[in-house]
């Protein structure tokens, strides 16, 4: 784990973003259940994704599948006060709970979680983003999210069981694979 990601983990304990009945397991390196079949990803997976994402202070970041808001808060720590993180979540009760937790654990004025717009993947109206983190598994690489990346952007997304990094550099898009992972499915419509 990089020093910046370790700093984010130290500043944003997972415990605050878990349902009360799951808080005793907050240090377990495993996914923990939320609601409606969703999970709070295991810390080692989140750390690996954040290392691949290489978030820097001042970045604009999209957090797709924000869930409990933990990754949104970690990203907010990484972007600092001059950055911005937008978390989108399809399940309204999770999105509202995540925003409440952010408000209660912050201050995180540079971060917010919204209910995702039905039929829209990501937040194209607010693109481009420097970084995009997707915490749900796509069957294939969603081109609509790739289009939301800025010219030097990076996206990390599990695709068909493989952690995938998409990098835009000098007008080209490079795709690399980084191990096998299991996630809840990405709802793309």
Q: Residue 96 CA to chain centroid, in angstroms?
A: 16
Query: Pairing mode, if any, of strands 39-40 and 32-33?
Result: antiparallel
Residue 41 is among the residues annotated as catalytic for this protein: yes
Residues 141, 145, 147: CA angle, nearest 5 degrees: 110
Q: Residue 136 CA to chain centroid, in angstroms?
A: 9
Residues 140, 142, 144: CA angle, nearest 5 degrees: 165
Whether residue 136 contacts residue 45, with contact meaning beta carbons closer than 8 Å, is answered with no
Active-site residue identified among 7, 41, 44, 68: 41
Q: How far apart are CA 85 and CA 100, in angstroms?
A: 15
Whether residue 77 contacts residue 11, with contact meaning beta carbons closer than 8 Å, is answered with yes
Which pair of structure tokens corresponds to residue 79? Answer: 């972007």
> What are the residue numbers of the active site?
41
């Amino acid at each position: 784990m990089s020093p910046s990601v370790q700093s984010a983990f130290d500043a944003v304990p997972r415990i605050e973003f878990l349902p009360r009945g799951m808080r005793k397991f907050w240090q377990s390196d495993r996914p923990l259940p939320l609601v409606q079949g969703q999970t709070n990803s295991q810390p080692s997976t989140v750390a690996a994704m954040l290392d691949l994402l290489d978030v820097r202070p001042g970045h604009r970041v999209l957090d797709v599948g924000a869930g409990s808001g933990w990754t949104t808060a970690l990203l907010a720590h990484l972007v600092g006060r001059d950055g911005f993180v937008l978390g989108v979540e399809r399940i309204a009760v999770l999105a509202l709970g995540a925003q409440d937790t952010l408000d209660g654990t912050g201050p995180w004025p540079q971060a917010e979680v919204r209910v995702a717009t039905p039929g829209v993947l990501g937040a194209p109206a607010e693109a481009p983003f420097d970084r995009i983190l997707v915490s749900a598994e796509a069957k294939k690489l969603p081109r609509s999210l790739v289009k939301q990346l800025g010219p030097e952007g990076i996206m990390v997304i599990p695709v068909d069981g493989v952690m995938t990094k998409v990098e835009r550099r000098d007008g080209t898009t490079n795709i690399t694979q980084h191990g096998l992972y299991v996630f809840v499915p990405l709802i793309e419509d």
